Amino acid sequence: MKLIQKKWVVLMLIAILLIGCQKQNNHEDSRSSEKTASPTKHTEHPNIYYEIFVRSFADSNGDRIGDLNGVISKLDYLKDLGVEGIWLTPIMTSPSYHGYDVIDYEKVNSDFGTFENVKKLVNEAHKRNIHVIIDLVLNHTSREHPWFQKALAGDPIYRNYYVWANQETNLGQLGDYGQQIWHGNDENIYEGVFSEAMPDLNYDNPEVRSEMIRVGKFWLEKAGVDGFRLDAAKFIYSSYQASNNHGKNADFWKEFHAEMKKVNQNVFLVGEIWASPGVIGPYLKGLNSGFNFELSEKIIKTVKFEQDAGIVNRLIGIREFYQNNNKSYIDSTFLSNHDTNRIMSEVNGDIDKAKMAASLLMTLPGTPFLYYGEEIGLEGIKPDEYIREPFIWDMNEDPSQTKWIDAKYNVNRADKSLSVQMKNNASLFYHYKNLIHARKDSKPLKQGDIEAVSYNQAGLIAFKRTTEKEEVLVIHNVSKKEITVKNVEKMNNIYYSSYENEDVKDTIVLPAYSTLILQK
């Protein structure tokens, strides 16, 4: 009895101490929240990100344009889906629908709400353990930006903020995509790699570099965002007035990252570096991550043609190369985004192939980024407006439904709407949701290394995901034919199966377009 009493006394003391600590923590949290939403509470890197094109996602005020409060209203949906981080496409003041031409880096586009709405969104997301990163467009401004207007008027200070042609400039030179890059006339011919409406900034000017570092700190300090998706990260220095500026770009991102860490030690920076791994690698010395465009292409090719495009072996090589540049790098993987045709359109509306693409993405290493609506099979083919069509929430009209553009590809509400798919366990939505949660609950799938496993059968992709203590074997049949797999390594149980399967045997029969994950 005395021993039991002593245990109760100890437990009561511990409880008192914990309550005291909790009160102290709550007091400290309330103090910090008065300054800004605290990103330091959420230090573990998200396993699944979700890209939101804000204008198309959810409307809160009836103007049919997606906004920040609309995103807040859908955070519980995203939490239930399994999302742990969201990426918002540009929310700053801009004259365009897409927002990649910024007029004011410290003001929120009035279509989307106010700066207070941003802070509320960050706070509400953090309550649900969801990180928030925002698009930061540093390569160029809008031609309507006051800096550029002053430059055109001859202001010598702001003239040096942009890149201008000189007597040696080849004005007929085309960009990486065959686009015209020099615009204007007479003494005002300027570089705009992406558009005449987007004049490029001059990063050889230290004032520009300082200004943009200040912008990054502003959003970390004042809004509490957890990091940035860095647009056009390989175009920071003009690549058309020098043969190769990748080294200078990478050095800038080192400087930028070091400055951002002064505000948030755990800041996450992911760069849009649409290039080969050989180009991307050195950027990872300054950035946490880069998007893996090559993997996206290989997954799409694999599911379209129903045979392995060399996914695993190529990915292993890329990972080894990246680790030589940054041992703690994060591989940001995806199927489609706001700049590419949607995955459902790439597979011509074939839901089985769309499911296989999702299965591959969710079982390979990296941090997957889902493009909004991917989980309900939204379609879209360029031009850009039509790969950014509104999310469909309900079979009937829904108050949060956006309608800033008339849909061209997503007109079948009965087929695409979330409300209908949530009633069907075989829907694409549930396929995504089940895979996301299976990934989140498995350390090997979430953070394990990858090892190739070859069964030398067309249509089959197999690999192991391993940590020091756990291991899973992943087998995909990406073809329309049933495949019999012999001499399967002995595992203890089935961790995940996209089809009905009760026994673990050394010979398994994989139905068409199916996935099996065995756990040791």
pLDDT tens digits, 231-251 = 999 999 987 766 678 999 999
CB 184 within 8 A of CB 190: yes
Of 242-251, 333-342, 488-497, the range with the highest mean pLDDT is 333-342
Task: Kindly state the DSSP code that residue 393 receives in the 8-state scheme.
Answer: -
Q: Is the pLDDT of residue 8 over 70?
A: no
Q: Name the band, by pLDDT with cuts 50, 70 and 90, for residue 442.
A: very high
Helical ranges in 178-308 per DSSP H: 206-218, 246-261, 277-283, 293-305
Q: What percent of the chain has pLDDT over 90?
A: 82
CB 70 within 8 A of CB 77: no
Crossing angle for the helix pair 351-363 and 293-305, to the nearest 10 degrees: 140
Task: State whether the Cα torsion 229-234-237-239 is positive or negative.
Answer: negative
Nearest to 516 by CA among 462, 458, 474: 474
Task: Locate 337 and state its tokens.
Answer: 């985004």
23 vs 337, residue with greater confidence = 337
CATH topology of domain 39-139+206-444: TIM Barrel (3.20.20)
For the chain, the maximum distance between any two Cα atoms, rounded to a whole number of angstroms, is 96
Neighbour-count burial of 315, counting CB atoms closer than 10 A to its CB (0-12 exposed, 13-18 middle, 19+ buried): buried
Q: Name the band, by pLDDT with cuts 50, 70 and 90, for residue 26.
A: very low
Q: Is the pLDDT of residue 42 over 90?
A: no
CA atoms within 13 A on the CB side of 182: 18
pTM (2 d.p.): 0.90
- At 244 the pLDDT is 72
CB 336 within 8 A of CB 346: yes
Q: Name the band, by pLDDT with cuts 50, 70 and 90, for residue 520.
A: confident
Q: What stretch(es) of the chain map to CATH 2.60.40.1180?
A: 449-519
Indicate the residue type of 10.
Answer: V
R_g of the chain computed on alpha carbons:
25
Distance between CA atoms of residues 140 and 162, nearest Å = 9
CB 330 within 8 A of CB 369: no
Q: What digits encode the pLDDT tens for the residues 275-334?
A: 999 999 999 999 999 999 999 999 999 999 999 999 999 999 999 999 999 999 999 999
CB 335 within 8 A of CB 358: yes
Q: What is the mean pLDDT of residues 177-205?
A: 95
Give the number of residues written for the chain: 520
CB 395 within 8 A of CB 417: yes
Q: Mean pLDDT for the chain?
A: 90
Q: Is the pLDDT of residue 443 over 90?
A: yes
Active centre residues (catalytic)? 231, 272
Q: The domain 449-519 is classified under which CATH number: 3.40.50.460, 1.20.1070.10, 2.60.40.1180, 3.30.1330.30? A: 2.60.40.1180
Q: Considering only 84-98, 254-268, 468-482, 501-515, which range has the smallest mean pLDDT?
A: 501-515
- At 243 the pLDDT is 60
Encode burial over 232-246: b for 16+ CB neighbours within 10 A, e otherwise.
bbbbbbbbbbeeebb
Task: Locate 335 and state its tokens.
Answer: 């199927």
Number of helices (H), then strands (E), in the chain? 18, 19
Nearest to 482 by CA among 461, 519, 508, 455: 508
Residues 6+ apart with CB under 8 A from 471: 444, 448, 464, 465, 519, 520
As a dihedral over the C-alpha atoms of residue 190, residue 192, residue 195, residue 196, rounded to 10 degrees, the angle is: -10
Distance between CA atoms of residues 80 and 101, nearest Å = 34
Distance between CA atoms of residues 310 and 291, nearest Å = 19
> 483: part of which helix (H) or strand (E)?
strand 483-485
Q: Considering only 31-45, 160-174, 205-219, 372-386, which range has the smallest mean pLDDT?
A: 31-45
Q: What stretch(es) of the chain map to CATH 3.20.20.80?
A: 39-139+206-444
Q: Name the band, by pLDDT with cuts 50, 70 and 90, for residue 502.
A: low
Backbone angles phi, psi at 441, to 5 degrees: -90, 5
Q: Considering only 165-174, 187-196, 343-352, 441-450, which range has the smallest mean pLDDT?
A: 165-174
- At 25 the pLDDT is 39
Distance between CA atoms of residues 374 and 69, nearest Å = 21
CB 498 within 8 A of CB 514: yes
CB 141 within 8 A of CB 198: yes
